[in-house]
Amino acid sequence: MSSPDLLIIDKLVKRYDGLLATDDLSFSLREGELHAIIGPNGAGKTTLIKQLTGEIASDAGAIHFDGRPIRRLSEPARSHIGIARSFQITSLFPDFTVLENVMLAVQAHQGHSFRFWRATGKEERLIEPARALLDDMGMEDSADHLVAALSHGEQRQLEIAVALATKPKLLLLDEPMAGMSSEDSGHLVEILRRLKSRYSILLIEHDMDAVFSLADRITVLVYGRAIATGTPDEIRDNEEVRRAYLGEEA
């Protein structure tokens, strides 16, 4: 039997003037699933992520998360109930070490002030969970490196560790492989493969090799609408998807 739905999106709408960026969109994400959203440029993938985090308001429809309606909840309230987005690189502190960045994220989640940490030193209660997150991300050897000295790929990995510090029930990843070398993205695929047994993940990604090797299910978005949801094999074999998006080579 399949797992229960963690996230249900029902007839969701986002309008920009005359344009329907999200057009009556419906699909669900199961607990423990890595669900990928693919679609051509402008299909509405980033808009959807912003509607899920609460960064932009939806015009109609419903979002249910963990059994409750959340469409009208604020961004902080959604973060509090367990929705985390991997943040932009600019949210990292470049002059702090990798470990310190994750410790600050753990501390923010635990609700203590920055000053408190500075006054009391690097405590076990922050170091232990921060080191565990770095292990999860395969970054334990970089713990003492300054963020400013990391490669682009390592900074993107660190963003994910920072997002996981909030202990989310759902992790939203918006093009985590963008701008990475093929070696770095291969490495990240392996890390996500390990993480996916423990987290529910919504992945938006243009790297089709990564998507088809990682996803349990894939939803194909075209002009803000879901034209198909299915396993990688089902999506590969779907005629409408091939016509609309993947092309003959898929």
Give start and end residues of each alpha helix (H) in the chain.
Answer: 45-53, 75-80, 98-110, 114-120, 124-136, 152-164, 182-195, 208-214, 232-236, 239-241
Residue 41 found at the interface with ligand ATP (CB under 6 A): yes
Minimum Å distance from CB 74 to ligand ATP?
19
- Using the minimum distance from each CB to ligand ATP, give the nearer residue, 32 or 42: 42
Is 51 a residue that touches ligand ATP (CB under 6 A)? no
**Pairing label, strands 170-174, 83-85:** parallel
CB of 50 to ligand ATP, least distance (A): 8
35 binds ligand ATP (CB under 6 A): no
| Torsion sign across C-alpha atoms 29, 63, 206, 146 | negative
Residue with tokens 């039997």: 1
Decide if residue 45 touches ligand ATP (CB under 6 A). Answer: yes
Exposure class string for 205-229: b at 16+ Cβ within 10 A, else e: bebeebbbebbbbbbbbbbbbbbbb
Minimum CB separation from ligand ATP for residue 142, in Å?
29
CA distance 182 to 246: 21
The rounded distance, in Å, linking the Cα atoms of 126 and 100 is 9
CB of 45 to ligand ATP, least distance (A): 4
Q: Which of residues 1-30 bind ligand ATP (CB under 6 A)?
A: 16, 19, 21
Q: Quick check: 53 binds ligand ATP (CB under 6 A)?
A: no
Residue from 9, 25, 36, 47 touching ligand ATP (CB under 6 A): that is 47
Q: Are the C-beta atoms of 51 and 73 separated by less than 8 Å?
A: no
Choose the binding region for ligand ATP from 45-53, 68-76, 113-121, 239-247 (rule: CB under 6 A): 45-53
Nearer to ligand ATP by Cβ, of 49 and 99: the residue is 49
Using alpha carbons only, what angle is made at residue 108 by residues 107 and 112, rounded to the nearest 5 degrees?
Answer: 65
Taking CB under 6 A as the criterion, which residues in 159-198 touch ligand ATP?
none
Residue from the set 29, 34, 36, 39 that interacts with ligand ATP by CB under 6 A: 39
Beta strand 19-30 pairing with 34-38: unpaired
Q: Residue 64 pairs with which residues in a beta bridge? A: 8, 69
Shortest Å distance, C-beta 152 to ligand ATP: 18
In the complex with ligand ATP, the residue whose CB is nearer, 49 or 133, is: 49
Binding site for ligand ATP (CB under 6 A): 16, 19, 21, 39, 41-47
